[in-house]
Structure formats: structure tokens, C-alpha cells
Amino acid sequence: MKITGIELRRIRMPLVAPFRTSFGTETERDILLLRVVTPDAEGWGECVAMSQPRYCSEYVDGAAEVLRRFLVPALPAHIDAHTVGRALHPFKGHRMAKAALETAVLDAQLRTDGQSLATFLGAGTDRVPCGVSVGIMNSIPQLLDTVTGYLDEGYVRIKLKIEPGWDLAPVRAVRERFGDDLLLQVDANAAYTLADAPHLARLDDFGLLLIEQPLAGDDMVQHARLATRLTTPVCLDESIESAEHAAAAITLGACSIINVKPGRIGGYLEARRIHDLARAHGVALWCGGMLETGIGRAANLALAALPGFTLPGDTSASRRYYATDITAPFELHEGHLEVPTGPGIGVDPVHDILDEVTVSTEWITV
């Protein structure tokens, strides 16, 4: 496939409500979109890097810079999605930037071939059950009202952000209010240390599906030690940046569940490799989220439809984060979202809306 050029587009998307995690509060997303242009089709990729390097070391200005200076110039004139990874391999890290570029190339390729991303990846279903991520709140009553609203919308699983000082009480309150049948999990975003093991073990009383990333991203061995101290399954997010990391975590017993975020691990091809590895070892997967617009959300739904994704993910409806999405909004139906069936990611930006939220565009001739 011949690439004519690539557009880097920065958009600013206000969130419908502040989203607080253990590493900060988001009120809007500064998002980098990539549009790969070929003679036969255009492809879209969404870079999930945040404005600041708080979730991981990448941040959106850095992603734009590494794409502009190193990654896009490294692409050969003729390419397909399988060769992007090889062309970018000499450059270390920057997985979110690489993922966005590979995804945009893959989207253009699949649109040209008339194949959906879901079919390309091996999806086994046309709709996926949806969980929702609930931020750290100012009070328990506010939290209970928020969870009530999401359950009324039909979400099948609740994920509560936790941190030291906001963990046992909110989990207890939600479990007591909504009962033992509620699918409930927590996400610490690396806010604890192994010294907190006795405290974290008290979460075992609440029948949680999992505890996500309790310790630091590079604490793989410590997670393995923590897992022996808890009955709640440990799920890793930030620690897993590749299939190799997943293999190491499984071998060490650092996790029994993995949150797969294609941006974090370098793209959908690597996500498929993690899927196959996890299935071979009986490790459950679910698809995480990075507050994506409908562009990234569409691609994540294709991934979440793979057979190894056995737990509800964070692929929530567009309205969970955005009053107006840049694509036709993804809307929950009986707790599920439909997997796009069109070629490539199966959605296109609504150009009037996209133009309204666009801060800058930059064209790079390849």
C-alpha cells in the first residue's frame, strides 16, 4: 500500500464530568488523531497518550514529536500494517505513538480490502457487554448516586477507582447498596506498595472480580508476592506493555487477569498476540479504555469481541465521557455495544463536529 501522506490532528474534547483517578483529575482530553491517506482509502488512528506523563511516560506533545521526527519518516514508501512494526522497531518505547500510526495504516488497508477490523482480528461476537469506570468522588453519597445512574443505563459491571483513603469505605458502600450479584472491581492505578498488602487483603471480603494494578507498573515481582496474599484476583494494566511482559507476568504469577489497552501495548496486532498467549494460559482478558473518542472506541470494540475477552471491559458508551462524540455516538443497548461491521474500524468522524473540536492540523508528506 502506498502512503501519500499523514495528517496529525489535535482535538480538544471536554469531558461531561471531571474524572478523578489516583494520579490526577481529567476535565478534558487533548487528543492526537492520525489520518493516513493512500490513493485508495484513508485510515484513522487515535493516540491515547494523555496531556501529562502521569499514567505512563508518554504524553501527547511527545507522541506528536516522535511521530513527526522519527516514526513517520521511518515508514517505507510501500507498506502494510504487518511491516509498520518492523519499520518502527529501531525506536525504543513510544508504544502509544506507534499504536496510533499502525492502527491508521491498518484501518486504511482494511478499508481498501473491504474487511472489518473485527473480522481481521478474529472477533467471535457482534456485541460486547460493557462495564463502566467510576472515578474517585467527593463523598460516598455522590458515589452511590453515580453508580445508580450507570446501573440504570444498563452497565453490566462497575469499576471503582481507589487510592489510599478511598478504598474500603466506597467498596463496602457499593457492595452493601447494590448487593452481592453486582459485578464489581477496583482500579488502584499503582497507588499502593507491597507494604499495603494487609490493608488490600481486607478488600477480599467484598467478592471483587479483580483488583487492577495495585502496585507500580514496574513492580512485576512485587505483584507476584502480593497475589499470594490476596484471594481477590490481581489484574495488571500499566505493567503490561507487550506480549513479552504478559508472558513474564503469567510465568511469575503476577496476575491472573490482564486489562488489554491497544495503545499501551503498541497496537492491535500486539493485542492479538497477547490474546492468543493469554488464552493458552487460561488468563482472562478485558479491554480497557483511555477515554477514547468514537475512533478509538470503535477499534476497541472489535478487539473486545475476541473470544479470549471474557470479562466486561471499559468500552463504555460515548456519553460516559463526551456530550458530543466526533463519530456517531456509541450507545448502550441492554448493557452491550454493537461491534462495528464496516470496513476497517467501521466508523468515520463527523467532519463538522471534528472541525469544531480541532485545535491544529499538520500534514506530513511520506
Ligand X SMILES: O=C(O)CCC(=O)N[C@@H](C(=O)O)c1ccccc1
Among 20, 26, 31, 283, binds ligand X (CB under 6 A): 26
Amino acid at site 354: L
Q: Shortest approach of ligand X to residue 15 CB, angstroms?
A: 10
Catalytic residues: 161, 261
Whichever of 108 and 155 has its CB closer to ligand X, that residue is 155
Q: Which residues contact 131 (CB under 8 A, 6 or more apart)?
A: 155, 156, 157, 158, 159, 183, 185, 286, 311, 312, 313, 314, 316
Q: Shortest approach of ligand X to residue 313 CB, angstroms?
A: 8
325 binds ligand X (CB under 6 A): no
Q: Shortest approach of ligand X to residue 3 CB, angstroms?
A: 29
Whichever of 46 and 107 has its CB closer to ligand X, that residue is 46
- Rounded CA separation 158/209 (Å): 10
> Taken in order 319, 285, 183, 194, is the CA torsion positive or negative?
negative
Strand positions, DSSP E, 110-251: 127-129, 131-134, 157-161, 183-187, 211-212, 234-236
C-alpha cell at 221: 515481582
Which residue is closest to ligand X by CB? 289
Whichever of 24 and 141 has its CB closer to ligand X, that residue is 24
Whichever of 87 and 182 has its CB closer to ligand X, that residue is 182
Considering only 140-148, 264-272, 282-290, 356-364, which stretch makes contact with ligand X by CB under 6 A? 282-290
- Rounded CA separation 215/61 (Å): 27
- Rounded CA separation 119/70 (Å): 31
Amino acid at site 8: L
Among 103, 109, 112, 189, binds ligand X (CB under 6 A): 189
- The site map against ligand X for 283-322 (x = CB under 6 A) is -----xxxxx---------------------x-x------
- The site map against ligand X for 223-262 (x = CB under 6 A) is --------------x-------------------------
Spatial CA neighbour of 45 closest among 319, 356, 347: 347
Contact 237, 215 (CB under 8 A): no
Whichever of 232 and 316 has its CB closer to ligand X, that residue is 316
Among 1, 10, 21, 337, binds ligand X (CB under 6 A): 21
Q: Is 90 exposed, middle or buried (0-12, 13-18, 19+ CB in 10 A)?
A: exposed
Q: Shortest approach of ligand X to residue 336 CB, angstroms?
A: 15
| Contacting positions for ligand X (CB under 6 A) | 21, 26, 50, 55, 133, 187, 189, 237, 288-292, 314, 316
